[in-house]
Chains A and B, each alone.
Chain A
Amino acid sequence: QSALTQPASVSGSPGQSITISCTGTSSDVGGYNYVSWYQQHPGKAPKLMIYEVSNRPSGVSNRFSGSKSGNTASLTISGLQAEDEADYYCSSYTSSNTLVFGGGTKLTVL
Chain B
Amino acid sequence: EVQLVESGGGLVKPGESLRLSCAASGFTFSSYSMNWVRQAPGKGLEWVSSFSSSTSYIYYADSVKGRFTISRDNAKNSLYLQMYSLRADDTAVYYCARGGGYCSGGRCYDKYYFDYWGQGTLVTVSS
Contact = CB atoms under 8 A, between A and B. Distances in A.
**A associates with B:** yes
Given A1-B61, A97-B59, A89 B115 contact: no
B61 A3 contact: no
Interface in A29-66: 32, 34, 36, 38, 40, 45-48, 51-52, 57
Interface in B69-123: 95, 100, 111-120
Interface residues of B, number: 25
B44 A102 contact: yes
B114 A36 contact: yes
B29 to A, nearest CB: 19
Contacts of A48: 113-116
25 contacts: A3-B44, A34-B111, A36-B113, A38-B45, A38-B114, A45-B118, A46-B45, A46-B95, A47-B117, A48-B113, A48-B115, A48-B116, A51-B100, A87-B44, A89-B44, A89-B45, A91-B47, A92-B112, A98-B47, A98-B60, A101-B44, A101-B45, A101-B46, A102-B44, A103-B44
A89 to B, nearest CB: 5
B115 A57 contact: yes
Contact of A99 (B47, B63, B118): B47
Interface residues of A, number: 27
Interface of A: 1, 3, 32, 34, 36, 38, 40, 45-48, 51-52, 57, 87, 89, 91-93, 97-104
B112 to A, nearest CB: 4
A32 B118 CA distance: 27
A48 B9 CA distance: 24
Nearest to B116: A48
